[in-house]
Amino acid sequence: MTELKTPNAPQWWKKPDVKKTAILWVICTAVIGYIGVEFHVRNIVSPASENMSNIISLIRIFTWAASPVAGLVTAICITVLTSKRHYGDNPPPEADHEIRNSPRATALWLSISGLLCLFALIGGLIVLEQESEGVLDTSAIQVNVTGQQWLWNFDYENGARSEDLYLPVNKPVVFHITSVDVKHSFWVVQMGIKMDANPGYTTETAVTPDKIGVFDVRCAELCGLLHAYMQTKVHVVSQADYDAWLIDHAAIEKGA
């Protein structure tokens, strides 16, 4: 491809529009990244597991990685909208389109986009892998989770059953999840785990709660009229409190 140039045209990076766009790019990237991280990530619930901490770090990194792209698009829009317009059939001689016609610019843009996609894919897979490794932990507590319209039931290894989930702190737990009617999704909000509950099939996920407190369990799959009310609590307690609760609850179940 031959590139037509007017003899005295400045090199493209010296053009005022390009300089203006470059400055706006830096500003827009900083503003978009800052707003994304400070106002969005800070408003996510505070984490109650390492899993959720990893997810929040990942969202923060992805937000900053995506900011230059959003920043460049915004900067170009501002430059275009605030530039002088040309009316008529023949563009002025200085208006060559080097960037549009440049294979180098196209290759650069495609490689950067490709690398960003690869980065997001690998980062996401690493966090996903950390989560799925927990399922194989043989020292973990096993809890069966059963969804039904519109509540959750939790069955523990000693035969206890509850509608609120009880877990000891800093102890890995594996959930075996199913449903007795339609599809639900078991979501422990502050622990960053979410897994489908399918009728006739058992899915698994794992987590290690690292904070004592009461957190939210919700259904994340539209499952009928009262889906929005299909929520309960997870009580994360000390190991001693958990053991005592488990014994008490098993006794109640047997006595009933």
Angstrom distance (rounded) from CA 97 to CA 54: 44
Of residues 99, 84, 39, 47, the one with CA closest to residue 63: 39
Annotate 206-245 with b (16+ C-beta within 10 A) or e (fewer).
Answer: bbbbbeeeebebbbbbebeeebeebebebbbbeeeebeeb
Q: Which stretch binds Cu ion (CB under 5 A): 61-69, 93-101, 136-144, 178-186?
A: 178-186
Instruction: Examine residue 230 and tell whether it contacts Cu ion (CB under 5 A).
Output: yes
Instruction: Examine residue 195 and tell whether it contacts Cu ion (CB under 5 A).
Output: no
Closest to Cu ion by CB, 188 vs 223, is 223
Instruction: Examine residue 223 and tell whether it contacts Cu ion (CB under 5 A).
Output: yes
- Which tokens in the block code for residue 193? 């785990």
- Which tokens in the block code for residue 76? 């170009």
Please report how close the Cβ of residue 223 comes to Cu ion at its closest, in angstroms.
Answer: 3
Instruction: Examine residue 145 and tell whether it contacts Cu ion (CB under 5 A).
Output: no
Please report how close the Cβ of residue 149 comes to Cu ion at its closest, in angstroms.
Answer: 8
Closest to Cu ion by CB, 189 vs 223, is 223
Angstrom distance (rounded) from CA 129 to CA 243: 30
Instruction: Examine residue 183 and tell whether it contacts Cu ion (CB under 5 A).
Output: no
Instruction: Examine residue 219 and tell whether it contacts Cu ion (CB under 5 A).
Output: yes
Q: Do residues 147 and 179 lie in contact, with contact meaning Cβ atoms separated by under 8 Å?
A: yes
- DSSP-derived secondary structure letter, 8: T
Closest to Cu ion by CB, 54 vs 232, is 232
Closest to Cu ion by CB, 208 vs 231, is 231
Instruction: Examine residue 227 and tell whether it contacts Cu ion (CB under 5 A).
Output: yes
Angstrom distance (rounded) from CA 133 to CA 29: 36
Closest to Cu ion by CB, 23 vs 180, is 180
Q: Which residues contact Cu ion by CB under 5 A? A: 184, 219, 223, 227, 230
